[in-house]
Amino acid sequence: MSALLEIKGIVAGYGSVEVLHEVSLTVNEGEIVTLIGGNGAGKSTTLMCTSGIVPLRGGEIHFAGERISAAGGGVRADKLVGRGLVQVPEGRRIFPRMTVLENLMMGAYGRDDKAGIAADLEKVYALFDILKQRSAQLGGTLSGGEQQMLAIGRAILSKPRLLMMDEPSMGIAPILVANIFRAVAQLNREGLTILLVEQNANAALRLARRGYVLETGRVTLTDDAGKLLVDPRVREAYLGDS
């Protein structure tokens, strides 16, 4: 498999606080890769750097064989979406006063292929039938899990080549979490590459092909997801084993 995303020794932070210390990871075409770690480990910052929102202080990020970010500058975040690098942010961040359909169509704001947009909309409705049922309902009236489905659907309308997901199960009822993870697996089977940041390490490692463990801004472990799932260090720290 060829590398779609390569993060090479990135350093980043906020103000005087350095959050990431030479973080490196690779996501190959067609994989689900998960990034796990405790609160404050730097997982979301890694995604925000990759999305072009948080600037790098060191290192480089390459996407589809091209350098998109380095210390001193990089490709603008909106331009990265047009290239297929799309993020589902933590907290969902839907537009509460817009309808479900309007929220979904915001994902397609940079597209002009009407037939492709219509096909992707139907793809979203096939994944999440509740969104079709509630297409005229205001986004802010949906449950947390339904809003997460909406955020994923909006990202799909952006036509991602790499989908980055930040804590999709946070604050969501378990039955809806299962539906969301099934949808993620389906998207991957259809060829979508996914980088998943997830607090539920057990579910994330069962879903992913490979995983990275991030602790205090540094990658401390990386392996096939199945091996990390049975690693005593991972089980003790993130899976509740003692």
State the CATH number of the domain containing residue 165.
3.40.50.300
β pairing state of 58-63 and 85-88: unpaired
Tell me: the pLDDT tens digits for 139-187?
Answer: 999 998 899 999 999 999 999 999 999 998 888 888 888 888 999 999 9
Instruction: Label residue 110 by pLDDT band (50, 70, 90).
Output: confident
Average pLDDT over residues 128-140: 95
| Predicted local confidence at residue 242, as pLDDT | 44
Q: What is the pLDDT of residue 174?
A: 86
Tokens of 220: 């401390």
How far apart (Å, rounded) are the C-alpha atoms in residues 195 and 85? 11
Convert the pLDDT of each residue in 183-238 to its tens digit.
Answer: 999 999 999 999 999 888 999 999 999 999 999 999 999 999 999 999 999 999 88
DSSP per residue, 181-224: HHHHHHHHHTT-EEEEE-S-HHHHHHH-SEEEEEETTEEEEEEE
Checking 64-69 for CB contacts under 8 A at 24+ apart, the result is 64/4, 64/161
Distance CA 78, CA 60 (A): 19
Distances (CA, A) of 228 to 37, 44, 212: 12, 21, 9
Tens of pLDDT, residues 6-55: 999 999 999 999 999 999 999 999 999 999 998 899 999 999 999 999 99
pLDDT reading at 137 higher than 80: yes
Domain boundaries, position 14: 3-238
**How far apart, in whole angstroms, are the C-alpha atoms of residue 52 and residue 182?**
29
Beta strands 162-166 and 85-88: pairing type?
parallel
pLDDT given at position 241: 58
State the pLDDT at residue 227.
96
How many domains does the chain fold into?
1
- H helix intervals, 75-224: 77-83, 100-106, 114-127, 129-133, 144-156, 174-189, 201-207
Q: Please name which of 37, 24, 39, 29 lies closest in space to residue 1, comparing C-alpha atoms.
A: 29
Check residue 56 and report its DSSP letter: P
Query: Is the pLDDT score of 131 beyond 80?
Result: yes
Tell me if residue 5 falls in helix, strand or coil. Answer: strand
- Sole residue written with tokens 């064989």: 65
Tens-digit pLDDT profile for residues 51-105: 999 999 999 999 999 999 999 899 999 999 999 999 998 878 898 999 999 999 9
